[in-house]
Amino acid sequence: MVPVAALIRGYNHRMTVAVPDVERDDLELEVGGVLLAARRLRPAGSAAAAATLVLLHEGLGCVDAWRSFPERLVRATGLPALLYDRRGYGRSAALDRPWGADYLHRAALDELPAVLAACAIERPLLLGHSDGGTIALLYAAHHEPVAIVAEAAHAFVEEAARAGIRRTVRRWETGDLRPRLERLHGAQTERVFRSWADTWLAPWFDGWSIAGELAAVRCPALLLQGADDEYATPGHLTEIASRVSGPVQAVLLEGRGHAPHHEAPGAVTDLVARWIASRQAPLPGARRAARSAG
């Protein structure tokens, strides 16, 4: 069994390598004949990097839902980043068909490769949250990314996930969730929410699983999950870690829920940046910063 480390609340070592401010470009990508909203981030004045961070949003997310986390990560790692709204989300083109049981496979194996090709990204380092974590795992099972970071990924249907979704449906119907999502998705909000909730709660989704594909994940993988995740048990993290074939580090973050990168952004940024640094040689920008600091 792969050991799962426990990260205590408040873990947040300060990074010692300073990186210049982050430059941002918002753009539209033509992918499959439709336009997807995207954002590119890079450390100001940086040289060519060993890899590009590609952030994959959750099932109710989009580029703007990441908030300041991508900029934090670019500063901490010295790597450029790409974020994009999957089709049907945020400012991207509307979907032209209902979701099916294969919606995550289509996002990982059709849309994501097309996005990477459109941006000429040959060495992606994928970081996905929730549905995005599943997409990262699926892509890695069929391609060769530099590495993946999967936060709160789903590999099969747990009753805990469905219980969490039913609670979220009640918030949608009676609370402040609808207006919050409308700020992210505009006219697509109703379809975004109903597609996500109705798919996961549908009887025909009972047997959905990617567990049998995880052995094909051979790249380095950092797996993160909050110990108090509203949509998964801690055993979900252990199961994913035990099935991937490559080098894996699994961390259960104590006192955190489904979105640790929002609940403890400093701790998660630090953890991810240190893990990435342990997988590669120092970056040119990091070396320059280290020399100037010395």
The mean pLDDT value for 260-273 works out to: 97
90: left (phi over 0), alpha (psi -120 to 50) or beta: left
Q: Is the pLDDT at 48 greater than 90, yes or no? A: no
Q: Is the pLDDT at 50 greater than 90, yes or no? A: no
pLDDT of residue 20: 55
Q: What is the CATH number of the domain that holds 73?
A: 3.40.50.1820
100: left (phi over 0), alpha (psi -120 to 50) or beta: beta
pLDDT in tens, 2-37: 555 544 332 223 333 444 589 999 999 999 999 999
User: Whole domain around residue 89: which residue ranges?
Assistant: 4-293
Band (pLDDT 50/70/90 cuts) for residue 45 is confident
φ/ψ of residue 52, rounded to 5: -120, 125
pLDDT in tens, 158-173: 999 999 999 999 999 9
Two structure tokens written together for 4:
């799962």
pLDDT of residue 279: 82
Triad 63, 67, 69: Cα angle to 5°: 100
Domain count, the chain: 1
